[in-house]
């Protein structure tokens, strides 16, 4: 089954009791939030976190980290960042790709922080999403990692797992995030992102999910629908 079909086959979502059971097992088998889970890419500073998130679009973690390091070696505040030219920013962030577009977004982000937020990164989802270049995924990652809120951020891994397992049956990451916020049991909100992320990286891998030994395979909608199908391929990379 290719990725396009993986995302469009209607397999239905788990019932509330099944969802509860899935999270109960995830909480038993997967590590949750840890004391050092601070800030996207280990950056606890909110400004650095939000810039890091912006740079992470369509970039591997290692390349994003290199771009953030190079950029923050030149400037560490919105005011300092705006003193750099587009070319200087673009050169620094080149490792993460789309650097010309991202350089312009960084400048718009810095200007908005200065003009509309008193140089302080907003601590609400709405405030974060009002910043140029910051969508729901970035906002939720900053909320969870940097501001320590009980938010399940939906990145590539979380989206894939939710979609396959049937935790939600939404077709976009943003709708998946909204469905999780509505349907996930309260007790699972704090660590949910971390359980799903680790599960996606260790068991429900993008290319070769370990379905036969997966502790959720009796609940999984994707496994039930595809157990006799040929091996999976996907656009997502296992990392």
Binding site for ligand SF4 (CB under 6 A): 164-165, 203-204, 209-211, 214, 216-217, 220, 222-223
Exactly one of 41, 102, 140, 155 is catalytic; name it: 155
The answer for residues whose C-beta is within 8 angstroms of residue 187's C-beta and 6 or more apart is: none
Q: 118 or 230: whose CB is closer to ligand SF4?
A: 230
For the four alpha carbons of 161, 50, 129 and 183, in that order, the dihedral sign comes to positive
Q: 83 or 210: whose CB is closer to ligand SF4?
A: 210
Q: How near is the Cβ of 219 to ligand SF4 at its closest, in Å?
A: 8
Cα separations in angstroms, 18 against 133, 196, 210: 36, 16, 20
Q: How near is the Cβ of 221 to ligand SF4 at its closest, in Å?
A: 8
Exactly one of 41, 102, 137, 140 is catalytic; name it: 137
238 carries an active-site annotation: no
Q: How near is the Cβ of 236 to ligand SF4 at its closest, in Å?
A: 12
Q: 153 or 165: whose CB is closer to ligand SF4?
A: 165
155 carries an active-site annotation: yes
Q: 50 or 152: whose CB is closer to ligand SF4?
A: 152
Q: How near is the Cβ of 4 to ligand SF4 at its closest, in Å?
A: 17
Active site residues: 137, 155
């Amino acid at each position: 089954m290719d990725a396009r079909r993986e995302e469009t086959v209607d397999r239905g979502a788990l019932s509330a009791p099944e969802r509860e059971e899935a999270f109960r097992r995830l909480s038993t088998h997967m590590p949750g939030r840890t004391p050092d889970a601070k800030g996207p890419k280990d950056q606890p500073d909110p400004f650095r976190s939000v810039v890091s998130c912006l740079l992470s679009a369509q970039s591997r973690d290692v390349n994003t980290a290199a771009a953030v390091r190079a950029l923050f070696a030149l400037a560490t505040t919105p005011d300092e960042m705006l003193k750099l030219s587009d070319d200087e920013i673009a050169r620094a962030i080149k490792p993460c790709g789309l650097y010309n577009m991202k350089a312009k977004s960084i400048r718009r982000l810095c200007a908005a922080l200065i003009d509309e937020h008193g140089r302080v990164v907003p601590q609400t989802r709405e405030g974060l999403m009002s910043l140029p270049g910051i969508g729901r995924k970035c906002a939720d990652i900053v909320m969870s990692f940097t501001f320590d809120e009980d938010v399940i951020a939906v990145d590539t891994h979380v989206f894939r797992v939710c979609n396959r397992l049937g935790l939600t049956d939404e077709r976009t990451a943003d709708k998946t995030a909204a469905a999780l916020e509505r349907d996930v049991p309260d007790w699972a909100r704090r660590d949910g992102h971390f359980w799903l992320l680790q599960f996606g990286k260790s068991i429900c891998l993008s290319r070769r999910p370990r379905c036969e030994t997966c502790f959720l395979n009796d609940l999984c909608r994707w496994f039930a629908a595809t157990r006799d199908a040929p091996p999976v391929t996907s656009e997502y990379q296992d990392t």
